[in-house]
A and B are shown apart, each in its own frame.
Chain A
Amino acid sequence: MTRAVTFINARLIDPVSLTDTFGSLTIEGGTISRINGLTKGAVIDCQKACLAPGVVDLGVHICEPGERHKESFRSASLAAASGGITSMITFPNTLPVIDNPELLDFFINRSKESSKVKILPTAAITKNCDGKELSELGFLRDRGAVAFTNGLQGIQDSKILLRALSYAASLDLPYIGHCQDYFLSRGSSATSGPFATRMGLPAEAIESEKICLDRDVALAKISDVHYHASQITSAMSLEAIKSHKSKRKNVTAGTSIHHLIFDELDIENYRTFFKLDPPLRSRHDKQMLLQGINDESIDTISSFHLPQDEESKRLPYELAATGAIGLQTLLPAGLKLVKEGYLDLPKLFAKISLNPSKLVKSKSGNLSEGCPADLVIFDPDIPFVVDRFSLLSKAKNTPFDGHKLYGKVMRTLVDGYEVYNCGD
């Protein structure tokens, strides 16, 4: 579809100007060529559906190489495309970990063979994400890493972290940090408080996140790196990130869609599909996050898609694996937040599309002329009930099973090519 196509009668959701207006959009040669101009090429009538930049999901675990029974590039990209996602910023926690250029080459080649959507790979900042020795960061950047991270593990040793951050800063790549104090969170599977006490679950103090965030930001200041706190999940760290952001420009923060929809009480009687990393927080924390989601403290909302097979979830809660899949539920759950009035559509797309793109210096995530035609067309109002077995990921570990969400993706385009069409 590199020839010209004009989408008319569309609700254009622009996260840059934060506008939601009816109009038309023309794409040509894989890029957006004109907004509200003369009709050119084929015409597609959107019938008042929304046209927005495609979703850019941060922190996706593809499971290739190593655990293809949980997810592959093919299954992840099918799920992503049908969920309106046009780019996946992947985490390097595969088996083995992506911490050297050869493995990154393999990863990128596999993605080119099998993925319908864009793959923007991050690389492990320390070897095997052990937090002990630096990976070959320069090689990794030159082969296509868009950011460095230690995945869902923080770096315990502050000196190593400082050196890693300084090196990342020299290479002008951001660091995506997971804020959980190693010692406070070790061995825990819930958040300390009345719920964990009643259920007899080993729990981490909620302060664990803030302590780590404060340390990381202090070290990021010394090294002058762009620091992105991937998951802010408590009221306490939300306040902390506000203060850090008011003092420093190159600090950004995100949260997970699951922590905006669920809280620890949803775990009920040890439902392991709700076992996440970091663990679900109190209802109060969730409500404070929701109230803050409309302002600028939280830049990104992502799914942290982490497929787990049934065997690793059907275990006693303490022993079960953490994580949830989320490629097909990120946009619908975001639309649920819009329906409930926590933020509007342009704001939502700033957080699920524009800001994650900016973090990794991608030109996606906006509707401006000259930007890649990574687009999603959807109806935001159609309700549906999630059936985990109808999802396209290989693993079916979603906490949304049986949940009512909103939105129907009609088409997804990557560089102007249609990668998903609902068929209606």
Chain B
Amino acid sequence: MLNRKDLLGTSDLSKEEILSIIDLAERYSDDNNNHVNNTKILTGITQINLFFENSTRTQVSFEIAGTRLGTNIVNFPLKNSSQSKGETLLDLASTLNSMFPDILIIRHPNSGAVQLISEKVKCSVINAGDGYHEHPTQALLDAQTIRKRLGTITGLKIAICGDIAHSRVARSNIFCLKTLGNQITVIGPKNLIPKGVETMGVEVTNNMFDGLQGVDVVMVLRLQKERMNGSFFSSEREYFHQYGLDEKKLKYAKPNAIIMHPGPMNRGIEIDGDLADDINRSVITKQVEVGLAIRMAVLDLLTENHPLRKK
């Protein structure tokens, strides 16, 4: 049960809330594997996908999640739209409000923008990523993937590697995994570690070998090249040498440690291509599968008290 209008981040989610989402997602995950039809659950609910930033997997994942549950989905076209004609974000929000949507899925390149819209609209809002602030469904799906593979999601040693500074995935994962009681180390060059990140309760190191020592989970982040202006590292091959996950570095983790990546991957930059494809270690494709179930669970839980569902 989620007693909230919106899902804007993991920073204010309680342990119980996180587990209730993951538990429900577990059921949807089984249903998806067994071809169970759930399309009656959210019949009549209108879902608008509003992606101000390019996305493939997240948008498609939300779209399929909605379809599986029976929502009416509208993908709001932002290219050549009123936005490019100078309409403000809040005007757009009130326009949408007048169309009585039930749930908005929003991605925006600026931190805080999704919250700004959520304050203006009456319906539920799910943050599908805002700037480098939060991306809560990614963190939830990561937690569920870990639980599926390792049987637990508490008391683990987890390393998050790479571009922490520009990563909303890192922030949401830190909040979520800390709440669930795990020990987290962030690893990256000083340039890509944001100042004061240790106040979020994580260990910080600039050395992959140190950071990966005895971890259960290695999360590799994508180098957010599109968010970088200026020189954060010298070259991609040099970055791979220092911070790219390869066999040599992975040896320092526990023998059964799993490898995760939120995608899309830059093979040969932050992760070795063969390692990413190793089905014994890498759960990257599993993450995508679980992501669908998590998004179905979130859509379900946020609309639980909707009048259409009581009939």
Contact = CB atoms under 8 A, between A and B. Distances in A.
Interface of A: 187, 192-201, 203, 205, 269-270, 311, 314-319
Interface in B120-135: 130-134
Contacts of A187: 229
22 contacts: A194-B195, A194-B200, A196-B196, A197-B197, A197-B199, A197-B200, A198-B200, A199-B112, A200-B111, A200-B131, A200-B133, A200-B134, A200-B168, A200-B171, A205-B195, A269-B112, A311-B88, A314-B90, A314-B116, A316-B131, A317-B111, A319-B110
B200 A269 contact: no
A196 B111 CA distance: 10
A199 B111 contact: yes
B196 A270 contact: no
Given A198-B11, A198-B171, A311-B88, A269 B115 contact: yes
Interface core residue of A194, A196, A311 (most chain B CB under 10 Å): A194
Nearest to A198: B200
B110 A317 contact: yes
Closest 6 CB pairs of A and B: A194-B196, A200-B133, A270-B112, A316-B110, A316-B113, A200-B111
A310 B199 CA distance: 34
**Chain A contact residues, majority secondary structure:** loop
Contacts of B229: 187
Given A200-B168, A315-B89, 11 more contacts: A187-B229, A193-B195, A196-B196, A197-B197, A198-B199, A199-B112, A201-B112, A314-B88, A315-B88, A315-B116, A319-B110
B194 interface: yes
Contacts of B89: 315-316
B267 interface: no
Interface of B: 11, 88-90, 108, 110-113, 115-116, 130-134, 168, 171, 194-197, 199-200, 229
Contacts, number: 73
Contact of B112 (A192, A193, A203, A316): A316
Given A200-B171, A311-B88, A317-B111, A194 B132 contact: no
Nearest to A191: B195
A197 B195 contact: yes
A193 B198 CA distance: 10
A195 B195 CA distance: 9
B186 to A, nearest CB: 11
Nearest to B164: A197
A317 B112 contact: yes
Contacts of A201: 111-112, 131, 133
A196 B132 CA distance: 10
B130 A200 contact: yes
A193 B195 CA distance: 5
A376 B89 CA distance: 44
Given A270-B115, A314-B90, A197 B110 contact: no
A203 B111 contact: no
Interface core residue of B113, B130, B195 (most chain A CB under 10 Å): B195
Contacts of B112: 199-201, 269-270, 316-318
Given A270-B111, A270-B116, A316-B112, A197 B194 contact: yes
Contacts of A270: 111-112, 115-116
Contacts of B132: 200
Contact of A318 (B131, B196, B200): B131
B151 to A, nearest CB: 31
A193 to B, nearest CB: 5
A196 B112 CA distance: 12
Contacts of A196: 194-196
B131 A192 contact: no
Interface core residue of B133, B168, B197 (most chain A CB under 10 Å): B133
A315 B113 CA distance: 8
Nearest to A282: B196
Contacts of A197: 194-197, 199-200
B195 A203 contact: yes
A195 B116 CA distance: 18
Interface core residue of A192, A195, A201 (most chain B CB under 10 Å): A201
Contacts of A319: 110
Nearest to A190: B111
Contacts of A194: 195-197, 199-200
Contact of B133 (A193, A199, A311): A199
A316 B111 contact: yes
